[in-house]
Structure 1
Amino acid sequence: MSKARGNSSHPSKGPLPPGDGPNLHEFRYPNVPIKWIKRLDDEGREGNQAFIYRVRIAAQDYALKVFKFSNPKSNPFYWGTRLQNELPMKKAIFYTDPFYAECRAYGRIEDGRVDGHSKSPRIRQQTAVKCYGYLLLGDRDERWLMSQGHDFEADLLDSEVREALEGDTRVRAIVKHLDESPEPLHAGNIGRAWESVRLLNNYLKIYNMDIKANNFIGFRLADFGSSWTEPHEILQYLDKEGKDIANQKRGRDTQNFNDMIEEEQIPTRLRVVPTSRHQLRSKGEAPWAGRVLPKRRKRNTIKLD
């Protein structure tokens, strides 16, 4: 059953996260009432970092991804390393929280290049499900969501984290395109899906870190809650500690993509071969390693301009 819940007026925070890195703008209708229509993700997966609803805002339907709170102290790359002594809590949140991970990734995707000084051409292909900006939900929306049994895990936010957030604990959400008939991954689009991942990794320096079939809609990635987008404090720290670990993280999407093809049993000649020994899976050499693969038909390259 649908419910209409309005957002209370709130001050804009500008692009998020703040700072010089990639960031995402606020949705153009921040105070328009939200009509909650139905949940789109698996209701049995409350352990996830977010949940997704079909909503209507200003007569248009969207997919709204609503995020739980997180505490940097739960991230092993923060509490388990010397990084906790080098990176203040206020800044650590921007590199460990799933909401900010999506903001950083989508900010880079919208711009289409690493920075204004990048010599690489701007990427025009849509590699991800379209994003329209972030929303900070009002009290009425938050109360309605809690009445549906959602736990935002605000109890994770101790006094140190709340201080870093400057006391602003409004529920965060990201507005995305709603696909009425989402297409799964299959043999016909797996090549384009890999091209999306390759462009994100190599040109935009976005590492999704969670490549799996249900994170794609067609050939486009839909979830960036686990992503690392350069410049990234954790990657910079790992680079200083030893490039082997950092390069393993940068190559993780490659290995996960190939594993996904095998696990989903997608009939394709495409094999994503790791580019270095550091990207081989820990359980041993991949079964296709060293195999001479049949030649594939030449595909049109993606145009960059």
Structure 2
Amino acid sequence: MTRDRGDSGHASKGLLPPDGGPSIREFKHPEAPIEWIKRLDDPDREYNDAFVYEVRIASQEYALKVFKFSNPKSNPFYWGTRLRERLPLKQAIFYTDPFYAECRAYGRIEDGRVDRHSRMPRVRQQIAVKCHGYLLLDDSDKNWLLDRGHDLETDLLDNDVHEALEGDTRVRAIVKHLDKRPSLLHAGNIGRAWTSVHLLNKSLKIYNMDIKADNFIGFRLVDFGSSWTEPHEILRYLDETRERVGRNKRGRDRENFDDMIEEEEIPTRLKVVPTSRYQLRSRGEAPWAGRELPKRRRTMTGHE
């Protein structure tokens, strides 16, 4: 079904997030009607923080990832630490909300280097499914989604969060390339998948935090809703107060990658974390070091 967005009173927000860090631009057809074709993610999965549809916009098909709202007060790395005393709620949203996590990650990937003014060459390998920008949905699209039972979790927006958002509660989405080819991780592409993760971590300072098989289309990552992209206020705080935890978070993708190979029973000699690292981890860590990110609502297979 096509939703007419022509009378939406559309107002662009410029680059998102607007804090001067990595960011993405608005989709090139912000006011074009959206034709909702079919849902791509698994509706039976729990803990989704977004859902994905195949859509048609301006005669072109895309994967549209629509995000639910979130509240920084539910993030223990913010509300459960003294970081909340120096990071206003408005800025905290830019570092705890899955929508902004994807904006920051794709902004860094698009630029291809940590410092835009650096003379170092860009990372040119395609390591993630292409992002075409963000899109703010109007009320007609929002109501269409609500009519189909999608919980956008607007109830999480208490007075403090609503004020931090400056009253703008338009539903946020990210437009991505639609790849209809079935493409799974296997022995032939697992090495390139690791190269993608390694380049993200080492060259671009992006930590995906959610490495698993259904987060890949072939060797390319597709979901960055849990990612931390430097400079990141939570990582900066951890470096100052819990340095070991910061190191642990930066190394989480490597450990999860090896776990994924084992879980998926992919026949390969590739092992990205030395055995000694696992032995050290098995001896136990401080309670803080073992804390995971808040349980995220399960993401989707395919286009996320």
User: CA 1:281–1:146 in 2, change beyond 3 Å: closer, same or farther?
Assistant: farther
CA distance in 1, matches of 2:191, 2:33: 40
The corresponding residue for 2:20 is 20
Is 2:43 aligned against 1:6?
Answer: no
SS in 2 for 1:99: helix
The corresponding residue for 1:58 is 58
How many residues align? The count is 282
The corresponding residue for 1:180 is 180
Is 2:93 aligned against 1:93?
Answer: yes
Is 2:242 aligned against 1:242?
Answer: yes
User: CA 1:152–1:46 in 2, change beyond 3 Å: closer, same or farther?
Assistant: farther
User: CA 1:208–1:132 in 2, change beyond 3 Å: closer, same or farther?
Assistant: same
Deviation at 1:120, TM superposition (A): 3.4
Structure 1 runs (4+) deviating above 6 angstroms are none
Unaligned 5+ residue runs, structure 2?
A: 285-304
The corresponding residue for 1:42 is 42
User: CA 1:88–1:276 in 2, change beyond 3 Å: closer, same or farther?
Assistant: farther
Q: TM-score, normalised by structure 1?
A: 0.89
SS in 2 for 1:198: helix
The corresponding residue for 1:157 is 157
CA distance in 2, matches of 1:76, 1:14: 30
1:220-239 map, 5 Å: 220-239=220-239
Amino acid at match of 1:155: D
CA distance in 2, matches of 1:281, 1:24: 39
Deviation at 1:149, TM superposition (A): 0.4
Q: What percent of counterpart residues are identical? A: 72
The corresponding residue for 1:295 is none
User: CA 1:144–1:86 in 2, change beyond 3 Å: closer, same or farther?
Assistant: same
Amino acid at match of 1:86: R
Please identify, of 93-102 and 17-26, the stretch whose mean Cα deviation from structure 2 is larger: 17-26
Amino acid at match of 1:4: T
SS in 2 for 1:64: strand
Aligned 8 A contact 1:216 1:222 in 2: yes
Two-structure CA RMSD over aligned residues (Å): 1.6
Deviation at 1:117, TM superposition (A): 3.2
CA distance in 2, matches of 1:258, 1:176: 27
> Could you give the per-residue CA deviations for residues 151-203 of structure 1, whole angstroms, max 9, x where no partner exists?
00010010100111000000000000000113011110000000000000000
Amino acid at match of 1:257: F
The corresponding residue for 1:125 is 125
The corresponding residue for 1:67 is 67
The corresponding residue for 2:190 is 190
Aligned 8 A contact 1:126 1:220 in 2: yes
CA distance in 2, matches of 1:280, 1:177: 41
CA distance in 2, matches of 1:283, 1:237: 26
The corresponding residue for 2:267 is 267
1:70-81 map, 5 Å: 70-81=70-81
CA distance in 2, matches of 1:224, 1:187: 24
Amino acid at match of 1:132: H
SS in 2 for 1:173: strand
SS in 1 for 2:271: coil
